[in-house]
Chain A
Amino acid sequence: MFDASTTYVSLEQDTSLGMITLRADLASDKLKKAINEIGLGDLPAQRQIVSSSELSLGWMSPDELMLFCASQNVADIVQTIADHLAGEHSLVVDVSDARAHFVLKGAHIREVIAKLAPVDLDPTQFDVGELRRTRFGQIAAAFWFSDQTTAHIICFRSVAAYMHEQLIRAAASGSEMGIWSEA
């Protein structure tokens, strides 16, 4: 009775997103240079995600960032950053295959996410530019908005099927609430 064709936001699982875990002293000059080198400006502040046309860089914790890029560029970017950080305590590693990436599109993405995550989705509290690590149902996940109608969600790949199942339920047609947009 649940499938992705009967949801009130669209749902896609995207497999082309490259992901790189970057652990280092976020105040390091070498790190800043490395990030500039790959085409991004300032590092994201606490809980922020910064983007260029090809890359996004999210703040994961005080000593961890996650870089999102096209999967074919991962190896080169890992090398570039690692080279810049040579001699400094750091960890740069390709984790692209460790996670699944879901894209939700539509006017109601906020309320669909609020059915699964204990997060205040009010636009005054969460908006484009923030990356939130939390849980969706019973699994850890993170999400961010690239615009007002597009949400990105990542979780570990082993639980992608579970994530899919709960997203299509949360977004099932007929369960609209109209909290942040007319139902």
Chain B
Amino acid sequence: MLIFQCPYCGIDADETELSPGGEAHLKRFGPGASDEDFESYLFMRENPKGVHFERWRHSNGCGKWFHAARCTMTLEVFGTYSAQTFEPPQEIKDKISQKRPGWSWRNFS
């Protein structure tokens, strides 16, 4: 039973107010994309033991989607941030580096 702070309304939202939305920072591939790119976009997901980036929606709340960085092992939350971004804010990456030195996730580290 997780708690995430919704970056839009500021609520420390109980998991029962939220809906999970899978992995964050996927890049969409549409018509014209290669089979490999499209397959990767649609089906290939990270399944790390440790640092992970996810999408959540404050569905029983302000209705906004946001991103969360957390540890899948300890469920420690490093931070939540806007969904309108292509990569995690530096501040969150710094915080992860401090707690999990040497981490990496897809192209981020």
Contact = CB atoms under 8 A, between A and B. Distances in A.
The answer to A–B direct touch (Cβ < 8 A) is yes
Interface in B33-80: 59-64
Contact of A46 (B9, B60, B61): B9
Q: SS class of chain B's interface: helix, strand, loop or mixed?
A: loop
Range for the number of chain B residues in contact with chain A:
10 to 19
A75 interface: no
A61 B8 contact: yes
Contacts of B62: 60-62, 64, 133
Given A118-B16, A118-B17, A135 B8 contact: no
Contacts of B14: 118
Interface residues of A, number: 12
A47 interface: yes
A134 B60 contact: yes
Given A61-B63, A61-B64, A135 B16 contact: yes
A154 B93 CA distance: 39
B17 A61 contact: no
A60 B60 CA distance: 12
Nearest to A133: B61
Interface of A: 46-47, 60-62, 64, 118, 132-135, 140
